[in-house]
Amino acid sequence: MPTEQQYFENAKPLTQYMDDMTTKKEESFSIYDQFEVPADDEFIELLKEKVPHVLAITEDWCGDAMMNNAIVRRIAEAASLEVRAVYRDENLELMDQYLTNGGRSIPVYLLLNSNGEVIAKWGPRAEKVQQFVMDGRAKFPDKEDPTFEEVQKAFYAQMSKEFTDNKDFHLAVYEDIRNNWLQALQK
């Protein structure tokens, strides 16, 4: 099996990945256009100093990826980092090493040091976003209920809109990534 560094070397740059998106592209670029990296010299300077690589495991149909990839791209641009993306469904051997609660939840971002070693894993959601999703799903009726599909569909539409427009969610994603990566880089 290839190493994470080998996956990174053969992966698509995140900029190209976003350009190639066929689903949720407009929403992802809307987030990208809206989001500005907060003034944070410590985090950005540490990224510039350590120059990690970031390997994203993603798919463009994923709402979390739609939001998170745009924010990671902005962080990468601020710190002159290289981020590359692999498609989850084409790389299950890699994905299965980075499951979330036993599932293939995406996106997952692997922070690689200069030796190509994984020093941090982040994803698929910031805690604040996860709470929103859990609170929404808690209101679903039982799956046997005839209104289940209608309620689920309505929530997924609301979720997509929130992921696209909610600047508090964008900032929560940034802060969660920042804390995760800072902790790894300061070791």
pLDDT in tens, 25-47: 999 999 999 999 998 778 999 99
Domain ranges of the chain: 4-125+167-185
CA 111/CA 100 separation, integer angstroms: 16
- How long a stretch of residues is the chain? 187
- Measure the N-to-C terminal CA separation of the chain; round to a whole number of Å: 28
Give the pLDDT mean for 76-97.
Answer: 97
Q: Find out whether 98 and 56 touch, Cβ atoms under 8 Å.
A: no
Which tokens in the block code for residue 161?
A: 């809109």
- Residues of the chain with pLDDT > 90, as a percent, come to 96
112: alpha, beta or left? (left if phi > 0; alpha if psi -120 to 50): beta
CA 24/CA 44 separation, integer angstroms: 28
Query: For residue 89, is pLDDT > 80?
Result: yes
Which tokens in the block code for residue 32?
A: 């990208």
Give the pLDDT mean for 63-75.
Answer: 97
Query: For residue 135, is pLDDT > 80?
Result: yes
Q: Please list the residues that pair with 13 across neighbouring strands.
A: 84
Multiple choice CATH, 4-125+167-185, 1.20.1070.10, 2.60.40.10, 3.40.30.10, 3.20.10.10? 3.40.30.10
CA 66 from centre of chain = 8
pLDDT at 43: 94
pLDDT at 41: 76
pLDDT in tens, 137-182: 999 999 999 999 999 999 999 999 999 999 999 999 999 999 999 9
pLDDT at 49: 95
pLDDT at 40: 73
Sorted by sequence, the CB contacts under 8 Å of residue 6 that are 6+ apart come out as: none
Which uninterrupted H or E stretch holds 46? helix 41-50
Query: For residue 187, is pLDDT > 90?
Result: no
Which tokens in the block code for residue 150?
A: 């209608």
Cα dihedral angle (24, 168, 85, 55), rounded to 10 degrees? -170
